C-alpha cells in the first residue's frame, strides 16, 4: 500500500475537487469524495475525479433498511470505489447486505461515532457511556457482520485495533500538531494515528485550504 493519506475533497464544486486532486496526486494515497460532492455531481463527477488515477474513497455513510442499502451499493458497482462507508448503527442485517452487494475490490467500512460528537452529544440521543464504549460495541458488530473495518476517531483506533487485529481502520479528524480543530471534537495528529493502528488517514482542510496543497501534503507525509 502507498501513502496512508486520503485527501477529503469536501466540496460540491467539481472544478475545485479536480484542481486540488491534480495538485496533490503525487504525494497522497487516495481521494475522499463525500455526500455533498456526490449529490452535486453524481456518478459522472466521481468518474472524472477517478480519472486523476488515485483510489477513490466514496464516503456516503449509507444508512437505511438492508434492502435499500444493498440496492444502492449495487448501483455503485460501475464506480468500483476502493473504500465505501455505511453506518454501523443500521444494524447487523444492513451491514451484511451492504458487504454482500459491494464489488469484490471495495472495502466496506462502518462509521461508528462521528468525530463531531462527544459524550454529551451521545447522551442527548439516548446513547449512554463514553464514545469509546460505543465504538467498541459497534466495532464488534461490524466484525461479526463481515465488514472490512470501521471509521473511528484517533482516540479509539488503538483499542479497536487490539480487538480486531485484521480490521481496516479509517481515521478522520486528523490534524497536524497545532492545527485548527474546525468542527471536529476528537482529533489526532497523523503520526499518532498511524502509531495507534490507522490504516488510512482522512485529511481535509489542513491540505485543501493550504496556500500550497501539495506542499502541505508532503509536509504531513514526512511525519509518517
**pLDDT tens-digit readout, 35-50:** 999 999 999 999 999 9
Would residue 80 be called left, alpha or beta, if left means φ above 0 and alpha means ψ between -120 and 50 degrees? Answer: left
Model pLDDT, residue 2: 78
Catalytic residue numbers? 61
Residue 48 CA, chain-centre distance (Å), reads: 20
Cell of 36: 455533498
| Alpha carbons 106 and 93: distance in angstroms, whole number | 19
pLDDT of residue 153: 87
Is 138 within 8 Å of 88 (Cβ atoms)? yes
47/12 Cα distance (integer angstroms): 15
Provide the angle, in degrees to the nearest 10, between the axes of the packed helices 14-24 and 35-50: 50
Q: What percent of the chain has pLDDT over 90?
A: 83
Of the pLDDT bands very low, low, confident and very high (cuts 50, 70, 90), residue 177 is low
pLDDT of residue 224: 83
Burial state string for 152-184 with b = 16 or more CB within 10 A and e = fewer than 16? bbbbbbbbbbeebeebbbbbbbbbbeebeeeeb
> Other C-beta atoms within 10 Å of 130: how many?
15
Residue 186 confidence (pLDDT): 52
- Tell me which CATH homologous superfamily contains domain 5-221: Aldolase class I (3.20.20.70)
| DSSP type of residue 210 | S
Residue that the C-alpha cell 462507508 belongs to: 85
Mean model confidence pLDDT for the chain: 93
Q: Give me the residue label for grid cell 475533497.
A: 9
Is 1 a residue whose pLDDT tops 70? no
Amino acid at each position: 500500500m502507498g501513502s496512508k493519506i486520503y485527501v477529503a475533497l469536501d466540496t460540491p464544486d467539481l472544478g475545485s475537487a479536480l484542481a486540488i486532486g491534480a495538485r496533490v496526486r503525487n504525494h497522497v494515497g487516495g481521494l475522499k469524495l463525500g455526500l455533498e460532492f456526490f449529490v452535486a455531481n453524481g456518478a459522472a463527477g466521481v468518474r472524472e475525479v477517478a480519472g486523476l488515477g488515485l483510489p477513490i474513497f466514496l464516503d456516503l455513510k449509507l444508512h437505511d433498511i438492508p434492502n435499500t442499502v444493498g440496492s444502492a451499493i449495487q448501483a455503485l458497482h460501475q464506480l468500483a470505489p476502493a473504500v465505501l462507508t455505511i453506518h454501523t448503527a443500521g444494524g447487523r442485517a444492513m451491514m451484511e447486505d451492504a458487504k454482500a452487494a459491494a464489488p469484490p475490490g471495495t472495502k466496506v467500512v462502518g462509521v461508528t461515532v462521528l468525530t463531531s460528537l462527544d459524550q454529551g452529544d451521545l447522551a442527548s440521543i439516548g446513547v449512554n457511556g463514553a464514545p469509546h464504549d460505543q465504538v467498541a460495541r459497534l466495532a464488534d458488530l461490524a466484525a461479526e457482520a463481515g465488514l472490512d473495518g470501521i471509521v473511528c476517531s484517533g482516540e479509539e483506533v488503538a483499542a479497536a485495533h487490539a480487538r480486531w487485529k485484521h480490521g481496516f481502520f479509517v481515521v478522520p479528524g486528523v490534524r497536524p500538531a497545532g492545527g485548527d480543530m474546525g468542527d471536529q471534537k476528537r482529533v489526532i495528529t497523523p503520526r499518532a494515528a498511524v502509531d495507534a493502528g490507522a490504516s488510512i488517514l482522512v485529511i481535509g482542510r489542513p491540505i485543501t485550504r493550504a496556500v500550497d496543497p501539495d506542499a502541505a501534503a508532503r509536509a504531513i507525509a514526512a511525519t509518517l
